[in-house]
Amino acid sequence: MSAALRLALLLILAGCIYLFLAQPYWFPVGASLQAAAIDHQFKIAFWVLGGMFVAGHLVLVFVLAKKTHAGGKPLRGGWKLEVTWTVAITAIFFWLHVSGNHLSLHAKTVMRVGSLQEIEVTGAQFEWYFRYPGADGTFGRTSAQKFARPDEGNPLGIDPADPAGRDDIVSSSLVVPIGQPVVLRLKAQDVIHSLFIPAMRFKQDAVPGMDIRTSFTPDKMGTYEIVCSQLCGIGHYRMRAAMRVVTEEEFEVWLGNQQKAVAQGEQ
C-alpha cells in the first residue's frame, strides 16, 4: 500500500507539473505597463511556490518510503528543526510579500497625477457605460433616479439642466489612446459590479455610493474584452464590453465623431 500511495502522489505530481509547464491556458497577452510588472511578479511567485509544491510532495513521498531500522530512534521532536523551518519559511513568504507589494501601491500613486482626462465607468445591471467629459473637460451632474432613461439614450441620468453635461459622450465601449495613463472613475447604479480587463491586468469593483479612481497605462494596440467579475445578478455573465486601444490620432478622430453625434442629438 505504501508503494501505491507513493506512486499515486508521484503521478499527481507529474500531472500537475505537466499541466503547469504545458500551460494550455495562461495569461492573455499583456497590453499595459502594469501587465509586465504583474506577470513578472507572478512568475517569481509561481517558480518559488511551485518549487515548494514539488519539493513538499517529494519529501512526503520520501518520508513514506523511509523504513525504520530496528532500534533506531525515530524523530520525536526538536526545537532546532522546528525553529529553522519556521525562520526559513517566514523569510521566503515575507520576501515574496515585500517584493510584490510595491506594485499595488504604485498603481494608486499614478492616479494622483491630476490633469489627466478621466473616463467615468458606470456599471448597471447588466451593462457597462463609459462616459467622456467632452470638450469642456467636465462631467455633467447625474441622477440616475431622476433622469435615467436607457431607452432614450440617457442611461446614466445626466441632468439635462446642467450645461456641463450637454457635451458628455456616453459610449458602450472603452476607447483609449495608447501610451497614456487612463484614469477611470468607477461608479455603479444599482449593485456592486467589477470591471475586469484581463489584458490590462486590471480589476476594480464599482461600488454604488462610491466613486473610485484608479488607473492603468495601455501600451499595445488592439481590441480587448471587458467583463464583470463581481456577481451582480442573473445577467452577470453577459455584462461585457469591448476596449479599444488606438493611436492618439485615431482617438481624436473617434472623439470628434462622437462629439458630432452628441451635438446632432442635441438639435
Told to check if 96 binds another protein by CB under 8 A, we report yes
CA distance 39 to 30: 8
Told to check if 244 binds another protein by CB under 8 A, we report no
CA contacts within 13 A on the Cβ side of 231? 1
* β-bridge mates for residue 5, sequence order: none
Helix and strand element counts for the chain (H, E): 5, 10
Interface pick for another protein out of 178, 205, 251, 259 (rule CB under 8 A):
205
Interface pick for another protein out of 47, 143, 173, 260 (rule CB under 8 A):
143
Told to check if 170 binds another protein by CB under 8 A, we report no
C-alpha grid cell, residue 244: 479599444
Told to check if 56 binds another protein by CB under 8 A, we report yes
CA torsion 109→110→115→120, rounded to 10°?
-110
| Closer residue to another protein, CB minimum distance, 120 or 175 | 120
Told to check if 113 binds another protein by CB under 8 A, we report no
CA-based nearest residue to 173, from 134, 208, 129: 129
Residues within window 23-52 making contact with another protein, judged by CB under 8 A: 23-28, 37-38, 41-42, 45-46, 49-50, 52
How near is the Cβ of 103 to another protein at its closest, in Å? 3
How near is the Cβ of 176 to another protein at its closest, in Å? 19
